[in-house]
Amino acid sequence: MPGLDESPRCPALLLVGAILAEVTGSLSLKGAVDRPWLYAVVAVAYALAFTLLAWTLRTGMPLGVAYGVWAACGVALTAVLSNLLFAEPISLVMGLGLLLVMAGVLCVELGARGGQDRAGT
């Protein structure tokens, strides 16, 4: 992994890692209700998620884009996996809400790209 003075080279991969770590922490938090040893997994997963998100930002990815993608993908993936692992329902309204969140993140991403184009970068 890069040192503190070096910029990582693959922001998308770092962001995917941050998302997966955050989802792991969230799912482990639910599992820790019955298995307290999972709190250790929660702590490590969240620390890793924030570290990877910080490294993503060091690559120059805009905060609004990185955080938006991280949060939206985390919410969607957590909801789907909670349904599979814990039999938590996903209602029609929840599904529509997840689609709206993801559409909003897409708008933020497209807006950020448009702003970069106008700035000449």
Question: Per-residue pLDDT tens for 10-59?
Answer: 999 999 999 999 999 999 999 999 999 999 999 999 999 999 999 999 99
- Over residues 89-99, the mean pLDDT reads 93
In this structure, is residue 99 part of a structural domain? yes
In a domain, 4, yes or no: no
Q: Is residue 98 part of a domain?
A: yes
- Which residue range(s) make up the domain with 38? 11-119
Q: What is each CA distance from 109 to 8, 57, 63, 114, in whole angstroms?
A: 20, 14, 11, 9
Under the banding of pLDDT at 50, 70 and 90, the label for residue 121 is low
The answer to whether position 2 is within a domain reads no
- When divided into structural domains, the chain yields a total of 1
In a domain, 1, yes or no: no
pLDDT at 2 over 90: no
> What is the structure's pLDDT at 111?
82
Is the residue at 64 inside a domain?
A: yes
Question: Whole-prediction pTM value?
Answer: 0.82
